[in-house]
Structure 1
Amino acid sequence: MARVHRVVVLAIDGVYPFDLGIPSRVFGDVGGRYEVLTCSVDGRPVRTNSDFSITVEHGPEALRTADTVVIPPFVTTAVTREVPGVLLEALGSVRPGTRLVSICTGAFVLAAAGLLDGRPATTHWVVADLFREWFPQVALDPDVLFVDDGDVLTSAGAASGLDVCLHILRKDHGSEIANQVARMCVVPPWRDGGQAQYIQHPVPEITASGTAASRQWALENLHEPMTLTDLAEHSHMSLRTFARRFTEEVGMSPGRWLIQQRVDRARHLLETTDQPVDEIAGQVGFAGGTSLREHLHAAIGVSPLAYRRTFRAAPSPVR
């Protein structure tokens, strides 16, 4: 039987309750594959940003047993350049090689502890300028939902915490499991980490001339050759207008979105069927197996055969 992966969530005073519960919500009901523990730096109750405190079951000793450590965000008024010594001591007990994950302002803790030096990272766009001023040694990208740098992952605010946890689940156990959990959470199963945070962009007016119908049409016809012109014509818009509205509504260009959908469909087929790579490529609209291999490698860094070897074994269904 596979070893249970232990996720330890470190709650800090001023924590946002919504974000604190994300790891348990995503990892806590995946057929026993994960164990989620919540701890504080001293084992005492933790103040939230709301009008209540939370009693946790574990102290900092839980961090020594973690396979993944998640640091949820806390109120920006509590963000300081120097973190308390007791917090640094707690983080110092984390075993080398443990996967580290931050949500929103949690990145300040990792940066202050020197764990992001020379690495790419992100945080909420509201505090990005302050983060960059305090930690110039970190390669901050404030425009993305999350950054996966192998054993360290950082994410922007709130909903992107769901995105990064689902991304981790997908890496660990494949898209089928991640999609099931996303459906249970009633959230989109996939938002690319490189997708832009919605920063100072007005919400597009909902009209009948939006791009949703064309996106649905594209998903139903992924196996067909498809260009930006085809999508624009389906929406009865000019190329320029369609591209602008699409980016406003989705947060990425039509071309990038289309490739992402094709890669995601290919991953599903690699996991759930024995079809040859060239056949899968044709079903998702790539020119051939070579094109699929290139796009899959660009997206997740592995070949189709390596991906299939990792995830082909049918997992037990999520409870």
Structure 2
Amino acid sequence: MVYANGTGRLQVVRAVAPDTPSADMASAAKRIGVLIFEDFSLVEVSSISEVFSVANQVQPPADASGHAEAPNYSLLFLSSDGGSVASSCSMRIWTESLETRWMNACDALFIAGGVGARHARNDAMLKKRLARVAPKIPFIKAIGEGAQILAAASLDVQNRTLPPALSNPLFVAEQTLTLDDPKGPIAAALSIIKRDHGAALAREVSERSIPGAWQKLATVLDDTEAGGVRQKIDAAARWLRENYVRPISITDAARVAAMSERNFLRRFKAQIGLTPSEYLLRARLDASCMLLAATDLPIDKIARRCGAGSGDGLAKIFRKRLSISPTEYRMAGRRKQSDSS
């Protein structure tokens, strides 16, 4: 862990798991290693650390017998020789050597990306040590430029035990990964949690780590029934778009999806990123904006056509969402058209 003191100078704080687990660390803890090097990218590494930290805080749902196996992950930062390692933004992290005994039972290894990978791939000792420990590790994931290090160590088969959508060839060195990329570090970390504790817990960890990211990650990490669930939610969303003119309740939309209201609300928000009510309101707002821009219909008539009830109801929606009135929106659109012509 790294922090800046009052003088602005960085200090290194040792906050990693030792070779011998402490008394309060369960023997069944899953060991997650993160290999870093000088000038590694801190963003991806931090996101991986955050996912497993959040997982350790989540209370899993109990099974039929009332038993709930809590996630227990032990994270260790590693480098070729151990010691303090600086990221590309000059923040430093304390590491253990790749040769630590801790690695004998490592469950997964992430290899960081960053500009420093171009130098690290030429480190003969790093390649030798990585090649020595890699065969023992069931799950290896290189992030971005970290693929160069795997390739240099002649470890061109990576992503073992990953879902098929993640099991692609090595990433090219210049590839940019966003945190919610289905091939990125968050997805890879969540796939481990899903494997160990199921899709429901992985979903909760995802939402706590990066709210809304599950929509992009669902194709990789959702459970086997998710395809049917996604289709139901998509059908409900289409139905809302097609029927926004008439009064609609959550019960109506849940009935279209053939779900309980509670499950429908949770699934819809996780997949679409909005609640059904917000999604319906956006559909009505979009339709109103289109009619205001393309027609000279009175505000009241537009409101009725778009399910807003009355001109006053539409005005409230516009002020809340756009901070202007429908009339002001129409005038602004006309001025813009006039200026462009």
- TM-score (norm: length of structure 2): 0.45
Structure having the higher helix fraction is 2
- TM-score (norm: length of structure 1): 0.48
